[in-house]
Amino acid sequence: MLVQDVETIDKNSLNVIRVKSKKTQIFLYDTQRRLDDFINKIKYRRNGKYDDVPHFIVSKLGVVYQLLDVNYSSITFNDPKNDRKMIKVAIENLGWLNKNTINGVLNNWIGDPYRGEPYIRNWRNYYFWDTYTETQLKSVSELCEYLCEEYKIFKQVVPSQGYLENASNFRGIVCKSNFSSIYTDINPSFNFGVFFNNAKEN
């Protein structure tokens, strides 16, 4: 599959752990903002020392970008044992949405207007959600298929967004919301059926 570089980021300047480590999980989470804003966050937050860097980003248009060598790792949970075994895939998605009760306009958590049709489901104290595109889901599926084959990761997935006890021990594909009920990504509009023949292949 075609993977592109993020041309505006110098990979050598990223604040990551450049030590090779065995990968046993693919970790999915949302950008929770538009792609350009997410890239700017990585570049500029903490004066360029932001350390929660994904290996890949999948845009709404289904374009796959690579930021980080898969052998290396970054800090998400501040737990080296977990972080070093994950291949992290950030999916462009605004996450939960607020509805203005006066004008009915939906916004993401930082106030950007949402102009599409939201996914509606009451989950983890939120009701409206940005949706993933079909093209995007196809790219996520193809990327995960490739990564599982290339890095000998089990072809299995936790087929829901719910909390999973001992999620860190699961070998395969997980999402951030599997680790704690405080997280809302991957959001409920995600179709886990795109993986491995409806997530049945082990």
Give per-residue pLDDT as tens, 136-159.
999 999 999 999 999 999 999 998
The answer, yes or no, to whether residue 198 has pLDDT greater than 80, is no
Q: What is the DSSP string of 59-86?
A: -TT--EEE-S-TTSB--SSS-HHHHTTE
Q: What pLDDT score does 111 carry?
A: 87
| CA-to-CA separations, 122 to 81, 119, 129, 183, in angstroms, rounded | 33, 10, 10, 14
Q: What pLDDT score does 199 carry?
A: 41
Q: What pLDDT score does 2 carry?
A: 81
Quote the CA–CA distance of 150 and 134 in Å, as a whole number: 24
Q: What pLDDT score does 197 carry?
A: 58
Global pTM? 0.93
- 49-100, pLDDT tens digit by residue? 889 999 999 999 999 999 999 999 999 998 988 999 999 999 999 999 999 8
Question: By percentage, how much of the chain surpasses pLDDT 70?
Answer: 97
> Helix H segments across the chain?
35-44, 80-83, 134-150, 196-199
* Domain residue spans of the chain: 4-95+131-199
Comparing C-alpha atoms, which of 74, 90, 75 is closest to residue 34? Answer: 90
Determine the topology of domain 4-95+131-199 in CATH: Lysozyme-like (3.40.80)
